[in-house]
Amino acid sequence: MKWKTKDGGWSPYLAGALVGLLAIASVYATTQWMEKSNYLGASTTFVRAAGLLERTVVPDHVEANEYFTKEKVRVDWQFMLVLGIFIGALISSVTDKSYRLESVPPIWENRFGSSIGKRAVGAFLGGGVAMIGARMANGCPSGHGLSGMMQLSVSSFVALAMFFSVGVLVAIFVYGRRSL
């Protein structure tokens, strides 16, 4: 098995296994220093970000909202983790020269052309629907996919199966069978 891929990355098996070790270390460290076992996740941070932004305009509305109260609008452990993902990806891509400014990805361009506007609308609407789904399901591919599966949570097996099976159907419908 090769440890390097053609594009200069690491074998996904190796990088993934290291994320497994990171996940274990992270649960241990959060339990030790935060008195609560925290698992890797990302989607709740988008709720907190929305709450922080709304609070600058309508603080009373955020204060009164049941969901914001439940998820606690603040820059917490997970919020910093999500910011860290940006920094880590930046460091990795700049140092191995895989950093690339991209406005329209190739599969998208083959189907919808090189218009940035179309890509923006697709990404925005897709993002909106996906986040409503992730919050309803209580997790995304990080929270359910990685953390939930590691713990053998029943909800995560079902959520991941739904994410992927519907993702496949919609991807084939949107990008066409030609792209298969």
When binding is defined by CB under 8 A, the residue of 105, 113, 114, 115 that contacts another protein is: 105
Query: Alpha carbon 141 to chain centroid distance?
Result: 6
When binding is defined by CB under 8 A, the residue of 63, 104, 113, 115 that contacts another protein is: 104
Tokens of 110: 């083959």
* Interface pattern 34-73 for another protein (x via CB under 8 A): x--xxxx-xx-xxx-xxx-xx----------xxxx-----
Per-residue burial over 52-83, b = 16 or more CB atoms within 10 Å of its CB, e = otherwise: eeeeeeeeeebeeeeebeebebeeeebbebbe
Q: What is residue 39's three-state secondary structure?
A: coil
Residue 45 CB partners (closer than 8 Å, separation 6+): 78, 79, 81, 82
How many degrees, rounded to 5, is the angle at CA 132 between CA 23 and CA 17?
20
When binding is defined by CB under 8 A, the residue of 63, 72, 93, 115 that contacts another protein is: 93
Minimum CB distance to another protein, residue 60 (Å): 14
Dist CA 151 CA 106 (whole Å) = 36
* Matching residue, tokens 């920094």: 87
Residue 85 touches another protein, criterion: CB under 8 A? yes
Residue 29 touches another protein, criterion: CB under 8 A? yes
Residue 150 touches another protein, criterion: CB under 8 A? yes
Contacts of another protein in 115-134 (CB under 8 A): 116, 119-134
- CA gyration radius, the chain: 19
Based on CB atoms, which residue is closest to another protein, 60 or 86? 86
Minimum CB distance to another protein, residue 35 (Å): 10
Residue 112 touches another protein, criterion: CB under 8 A? no
Minimum CB distance to another protein, residue 127 (Å): 3
Residue 12 touches another protein, criterion: CB under 8 A? yes
Minimum CB distance to another protein, residue 125 (Å): 6
Q: Contacts with another protein: how many residues (CB under 8 A)?
A: 133
